[in-house]
């Protein structure tokens, strides 16, 4: 079952009763409710939102990822469950003991999947993508030739219309803002699924920044980034240069977790696909399989 993504952008008081999240909206006087077990991602985007401790406890017990946003409406923090799997200690140990050759092979597969999905985005945008398709075939263990960076240099020059003169910079001009927001959503979904699969989001297979608590999430989300790029390209086609975040744009980005992707030859909501990916990663660490299951973009 696909979990719901709930977004709050107005003042709200959130509490719990009978395994429900009770939502009180002071501006309208309305009271609503949502089943906690149906929620996967909760985004808090207003300075006047209050949650009770009892609700937070129940949300985390159900492996809900809580994302908080700053005054500019961009995600800045995430709260996750610490006890996400019945065999968590065993899975932690397998992850910690993963060999360097295994991590290099997993990163090779990840880069290959990312390049293939970036090529698919370029095809949708009617841009030349043979370079990325060929590059994906040459990725070596550990990506020693840095094919990911070579692909990114080509991809970001080709994916958006020339009138944007786009450069991918975290704090750069639009549509960087839209990409950042979409990637933050994907990152939260991946981190949540890693915890649910009994893995530590901190211990990456490639990313190793000592200040980053989500290195593994940043690794595994790489092939999922093009699904955000695809939506942002659609927003660019609809809005031209007028790309400051609007409610309609935010709605489109928040719909990404429920969008269909192709994984193992079948259509699946992206959020469910991420669960398959992290479950396969856990099996790789345990030596049960040798390949991570990633989705393809079409």
**Residue 292, in any domain of the structure:** no
**Are residues 126 and 209 located together in one domain of the fold?**
yes
Q: Is residue 297 a part of any domain in this protein?
A: no
pTM of the model: 0.89
> Which whole number is the average pLDDT over 211-218?
84
Residues 6+ apart with CB under 8 A from 241: 163, 164, 174
248/180 same-domain check: yes
183 and 110 inside one domain: yes
Do 118 and 154 form a contact (C-beta atoms < 8 A)? Answer: no
Q: Which of 27, 50, 79 is the last residue of a domain?
A: 79
pLDDT for res 269: 93
Average pLDDT of 204-217? 84
Q: Is 124's pLDDT higher than 90?
A: yes
The predicted-structure confidence for 2-48, as pLDDT tens digits, reads as follows 789 999 999 999 999 999 999 999 999 999 999 999 999 999 999 99
Residue 81 has pLDDT above 90, yes or no: no
What strands, in cross-sheet order, belong to the sheet with 39-44? 4-8, 39-44, 65-69, 75-79
169 belongs to an annotated ligand binding site: no
- 296 found inside a domain: no
Same domain, residue pair 188 and 154? yes
Which tokens go with 176? 């960087």
Q: Is the pLDDT assigned to residue 289 strictly greater than 70?
A: yes
Assign residue 225 a region: left if phi > 0, alpha if psi is -120 to 50, beta otherwise? alpha
- Find the Cα–Cα–Cα–Cα dihedral 269, 191, 226, 215, rounded to 10°: -160
| 286 annotated among ligand-binding-site residues | no
pLDDT at position 174, please?
95
Q: What is the mean pLDDT of residues 135-162?
A: 97
Is residue 123 over pLDDT 90? yes
More confident of the two residues 140 and 69: 140
What pLDDT is attached to residue 291? 96
Range of the domain at 11: 4-79
- Domain CATH number, residue 237: 1.20.120.920
- Give the long-range contacts of residues 202-205, CB within 8 A, separation 24 or more: 203/95, 203/96, 205/98, 205/103, 205/106, 205/107, 205/110
* Overall average pLDDT of the 269-290 stretch: 95
- Check pLDDT > 90 for residue 171: no
Per residue in 182-193, pLDDT (tens digit) is 999 999 999 989
Q: How many residues does the chain have?
A: 298
Kindly state whether residues 107 and 159 are assigned to the same domain.
yes
Same domain for 36 and 93?
no
Q: Is residue 107 part of a domain?
A: yes
Q: Does one domain contain both 74 and 99?
A: no
Give the residue from 137, 136, 134, 140 showing the smallest Cα distance to 104: 140
Residue that is last in its domain, among 79, 102, 136: 79
Q: Is residue 298 part of a domain?
A: no
Give the domain-ending residue among 28, 54, 79: 79
Judgement on whether residues 95 and 71 belong to the same structural domain of the protein? no
CB atoms within 10 A of CB 49: 16
Report percent pLDDT > 90 for the chain: 81
Whether residue 102 has pLDDT greater than 80: yes
DSSP 201: T
Q: What is the mean pLDDT of residues 104-128?
A: 97
For the cut 60, the answer to whether the pLDDT of residue 84 exceeds it is no
Same domain membership, residue 63 and residue 105: no
> Is the pLDDT reported for residue 106 higher than 90?
yes
Find residue 44's DSSP bridge partners.
Answer: 8, 68
Residues 66 and 110 in one domain: no
CATH number at residue 43: 3.100.10.20
Out of 83-97, 164-178, 275-289, pick the least confident: 83-97
Domain identity same for 57 and 98: no
Residue 122 located in a structural domain: yes
Residue 74 in marked binding region = no
188 lies in the same domain as 70: no
């Amino acid at each position: 079952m696909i979990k719901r993504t709930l977004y709050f952008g107005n003042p709200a008081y959130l509490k719990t009763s009978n395994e429900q999240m009770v939502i009180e909206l002071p501006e309208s006087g309305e009271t609503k409710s949502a089943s906690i077990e149906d929620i996967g991602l909760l985004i808090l985007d207003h300075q006047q939102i209050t949650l009770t401790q009892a609700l937070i406890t129940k949300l985390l017990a159900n492996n809900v990822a809580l994302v908080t946003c700053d005054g500019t409406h961009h995600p800045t923090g995430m709260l996750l469950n610490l006890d996400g799997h019945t065999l968590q200690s065993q899975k932690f140990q397998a992850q910690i003991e993963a060999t360097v050759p295994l991590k290099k092979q997993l990163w090779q597969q990840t880069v290959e999947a990312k390049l293939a999905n970036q090529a698919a985005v370029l095809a949708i945008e009617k841009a030349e993508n043979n370079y990325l398709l060929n590059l994906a075939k040459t990725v070596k263990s550990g990506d020693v030739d840095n094919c990911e960076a070579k692909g990114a240099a080509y991809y970001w020059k080709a994916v958006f219309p020339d009138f944007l003169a786009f450069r991918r910079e975290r704090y750069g001009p639009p549509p960087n803002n839209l990409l950042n927001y979409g990637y933050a959503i994907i990152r939260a979904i991946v981190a949540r699924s890693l915890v649910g699969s009994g893995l530590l989001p901190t211990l990456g297979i490639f990313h190793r920044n000592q200040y980053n608590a989500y290195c593994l999430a940043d690794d595994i989300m790489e092939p999922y980034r093009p699904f955000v790029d695809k939506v942002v390209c659609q927003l660019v086609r609809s809005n031209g240069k007028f790309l400051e975040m609007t409610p309609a744009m935010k709605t489109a980005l928040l719909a990404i977790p429920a969008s269909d992707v192709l994984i193992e030859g079948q259509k699946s909501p992206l959020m469910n696909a991420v669960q398959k990916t992290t479950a396969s990663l856990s099996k790789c660490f345990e030596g049960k399989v040798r390949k991570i299951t990633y989705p393809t973009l079409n």
